[in-house]
Structure 1
Amino acid sequence: MSCSLAVSISPVPSPSMGLFCNKSSFICSSPEALNLSLAHIKPSPSPPSPSPSSPCSPFRLRLQKPPPGSLLSSSASTSTSSMESGSSVGLGPGSGPTILKRKRPTRLDIPAATTALRFGVPTTPCEVVREVEREGYGYSVYCKRGRREAMEDRFAASVKLQGDSKQAFFGVFDGHGGVKAAEFAAQMLGKNILDEVVRRRDETNEREAVKAGYLRTDTEFLKENVTGGSCCVTALIKNGNLVVSNAGDCRAVLSRDGAAEALTSDHRPSREDERNRIETCGGYVDLCRGVWRVQGSLAVSRGIGDNHLKQWVIAEPETKIVSIKPDYEFLILASDGLWDKVSNQEAVDIARPSCVGINKPNPLNACKKLVNLSVSRGSSDDISVMLVQLGQY
């Protein structure tokens, strides 16, 4: 004779199961329990009809028949019916202590995991910066995030280089395909340029030193084996000279006694010389939804990174060197988030009243006005504006 215990079958628990249930479905052995073994689990070919209070299960735990004359043998029928109904199994008051007390595990109703895992579990939070503003010796900068989840613009400012208050380096970097390239350029480009300038010790060859700094930064970033790229615009002030360089569509605009003068030219595939260079290298330029793109993909033709397009999207900058003169009022370095909505002369006209001819110049306010104007005209891009007061140098 044998007695059987009906149990509900639940899946093997997983770390994600805590999302759906609060109770355990495991049977834990105890000194007071009968000798139950999961090895005895086997399908029952003809399970009995379920009672209203007992859910039907295709598996049962089979209990070994107790030896003749034992206390349990005399109450086997009572034990069986009691365990089937989920109540504790024991003897009467005059028959000794309880032999078995076990409840049927609660049946698990597990919902579909796909929907719960995808929508019920929050994504890993990421650092989101909405606005950045900073002021330093001779410069102010204001950055505002567009519709992206994370700000991809970066900037760099190093003043009083080598202890000289007349030397400085500034840069604005507009990342695409992620922020890694912009971060790398902001950290390394100025250092690499200065290293090249010092190494060459030739003040008449600053153009080549800047070029070498850009190319070295690009090579080092490609070794990082990460995706993405960055447009760059930089200004090196040294020995009374303003050395402005760019790779991509970040732009530098000079206010010269109120007149705007662009010191850089945007590197876009729509430029005839850039398109010819790309096509000569075996690439192509295509018009996609009104925007010219390299290989139908990228809307700029130069920059740091972009390993998958490196054959055509080069890091070599274009550089212009001018001597700083008394009528050079300030320099605006900005990402295309500004220049796509605000013209060069508009930018100078809006910034100038906050910087020139007043007792307390407020260049940071000028940067904010420019950014807010671009936003009001519908810009959804990240926007970074840096204003350098050239009168300090």
Structure 2
Amino acid sequence: MSLSVAVCNSPVFAPSSSLFCNKASNIFPAHETLTLSRSHINPPSASAASPTSPFCLRLLKPPAKLGSGSDSVPGACNRHSPPVSVLKRKRPTRIDIPVASAGIVAPVSVNEETPGEESGEMERDGDGFSVYCKRGRKEAMEDRFSAITNLRNDPNQAIFGVYDGHGGSRAAEFAAKNLCNNIIKEIVSERNESKIEEAVKRGYLATDSEFLKENDVKGGSCCVTALISDGNLVVANAGDCRAVLSVGGFAEALTSDHRPSRDDERNRIENSGGYVDTFHSVWRIQGSLAVSRGIGDAHLKQWVISEPETKVRRINPHHEFLILASDGLWDKVSNQEAVDIARPFCIGTNHKQKPLLACKKLVDLSVSRGSLDDISVMIIPLSRFI
């Protein structure tokens, strides 16, 4: 919902897992599948706290300064536990979520070296899209993105996605490799074109089900996808990755963030037996996760559903470009600000438009305003698909 940092107001609560560089399976021979890759580094070790405990995140709160003769730490999960040496460490106990290598997903060919890995940045000018990713304070990137263009040998058909992992990068990586292809499969098998929203929904649910069958499943991922087919723009999301459309220079949000603070989401969670509370002014499910929909999150699956919300728009000349981004951008930059900054780089009679520069401008603005999260920004000029 990659790139994000383990801070109290972020849905991320663990370092990321390893990154791979593989092509998604070919559904259509002519399409291009784009994923990201990164070399491995040695992550820090973690302690043995359980990631499934609804209260374990409180261990991230720094302990109060110990006075003489003090043998307990205010804010610990068990206030009556006997004194142990770990409570006297200068740093709080870490949650035990397995970690591996760090990296950035990039739309490159299999086994191709990805430039810019050491700096934690990645950029790409693709066929009908541009994307820029910047790693946050954490040493491992958890964001991913994907792009499949030239669907059915038609340059006016494509599908794009941005994925923001939490609790590691495995779910975001899995979604980047499989979600768009699963959506395409469902659309191909759906003969009734008026039910395209149902086909997209089945694609999300299938991806979630497949991921949960993986061995040693950890973490989850927010997702936003944009399908362009037969002059239609079909946008779907699960989590707080967001899609914003520029309509003649005015920003129109095509998605609504799925967070426990939303009345309908909180009611759904509570009606299914869960609870929502605040920690450091952030609403969380079971005292843990700050997003209410996404792929993965097996230990919270009863409440964190993968069903997306979907909107369909018929593309017209007033629809200038689409921004897909993780919450690393949207937590610091408003929808209209993003459109105002990107627009001069994306429209006009100048054929040397530079939407990639717009992606970088947006990322830099978020960082300048204090974002410590991973940030991924993808811009899709829609005139290319009319």
Give the structure-2-normalised TM-score: 0.69
The list of structure 1 runs, each at least 4 consecutive aligned residues, that deviate by more than 6 angstroms after superposition, is none
Shift of 1:222: 0.3
Provide the secondary structure at the position in 2 that maps to 1:149.
Answer: coil
Aligned pairs for 1:74-93 (under 5 A) are none
Shift of 1:127: 4.2
Aligned Cα root-mean-square deviation (Å):
1.1
Query: What's the CA shift string for 1:195-226, capped at 9, x where partnerless?
Result: 00001122111100000000000000000131
Provide the secondary structure at the position in 2 that maps to 1:140.
Answer: strand
For residue 278 of structure 1, the aligned residue among 256, 269, 272 is 269
Shift of 1:358: 4.7
**Pair 1:125–1:314, CA change in 2 (3 A):** closer
Tell me which residue corresponds to 1:13: none
Give the structure-1-normalised TM-score: 0.68
Which residue type is aligned with residue 269 of structure 1?
A: P
Tell me which residue corresponds to 1:153: 143
For residue 279 of structure 2, the aligned residue among 288, 310, 313 is 288
Unaligned runs of 5+ in 2: 1-98, 104-116
Q: Give yes or no for the alignment of 1:216 onto 2:212.
A: no
Shift of 1:283: 0.1
Tell me which residue corresponds to 2:196: 206
- The CA distance in 2 between the partners of 1:345 and 1:134, in whole Å, is 24
Tell me which residue corresponds to 1:265: 256
- The CA distance in 1 between the partners of 2:163 and 2:123, in whole Å, is 15
- The CA distance in 2 between the partners of 1:312 and 1:240, in whole Å, is 35
For residue 323 of structure 2, the aligned residue among 332, 339, 342 is 332
Tell me which residue corresponds to 2:171: 181
Unaligned runs of 5+ in 1: 1-123
Kept after mapping to 1: 8 A contact 2:102/2:141: no
Tell me which residue corresponds to 1:386: 378
Aligned pairs for 1:1-393 (under 5 A) are 126-128=101-103, 129=117, 130-224=120-214, 225-359=216-350, 360-393=352-385
Higher gyration radius (CA): 1
Query: What's the CA shift string for 1:304-356, capped at 9, x where partnerless?
Result: 00000000000000000010011100000000000000000000000001111
**Which of the pair has the greater relative contact order for Cα pairs under 8 Å at 6+ separation?**
2
Tell me the number of residue pairs that the alignment of Structure 1 and Structure 2 aligns: 270
Which residue type is aligned with residue 336 of structure 1?
A: D
- The CA distance in 2 between the partners of 1:327 and 1:138, in whole Å, is 17
- The CA distance in 2 between the partners of 1:127 and 1:380, in whole Å, is 16
Provide the secondary structure at the position in 2 that maps to 1:265.
Answer: coil
Which residue type is aligned with residue 197 of structure 1?
A: I
Provide the secondary structure at the position in 1 that maps to 2:292.
Answer: coil
Provide the secondary structure at the position in 1 that maps to 2:257.
Answer: coil
- The CA distance in 1 between the partners of 2:100 and 2:203, in whole Å, is 36
Which residue type is aligned with residue 366 of structure 1?
A: A
